[in-house]
Chains A and B, each alone.
Chain A
Amino acid sequence: DAKTTQPPSMDCAEGRAANLPCNHSTISGNEYVYWYRQIHSQGPQYIIHGLKNNETNEMASLIITEDRKSSTLILPHATLRDTAVYYCIVAGLTGGGNKLTFGTGTQLKVEL
Chain B
Amino acid sequence: KAGVTQTPRYLIKTRGQQVTLSCSPISGHRSVSWYQQTPGQGLQFLFEYFSETQRNKGNFPGRFSGRQFSNSRSEMNVSTLELGDSALYLCASSLDRTYEQYFGPGTRLTVT
- Supposing A44-B103, A99-B58 touch, asked if A93 and B90 sit within 8 A by C-beta, the answer is no
Interface pair A46/B100, CB less than 8 Å apart: yes
Number of A-B residue pairs with CB-CB distance less than 8 Å in the complex they form? 67
Chain B: interface residue count, which band?
20 to 34
CB within 8 Å of A: which B91-112 residues:
92, 94, 96-106
B45 contacts A by Cβ under 8 Å: yes
Flag if A98 contacts B105 (CB, 8 Å).
no
Chain B residues lying within 8 Å of A38, measured Cβ to Cβ, are 43
Task: State whether A43 and B45 are in contact (beta carbons under 8 Å apart), knowing that A32-B99, A34-B99 are contacts in the complex.
Answer: no
Proximity bits, A47-72, B CB within 8 Å = 1, else 0 = 00100000000000000000000000
| Residues in B lying within 8 Å of A, measured CB to CB | 4, 31, 33, 35, 42-45, 48, 50, 55-56, 58, 88, 90, 92, 94, 96-106
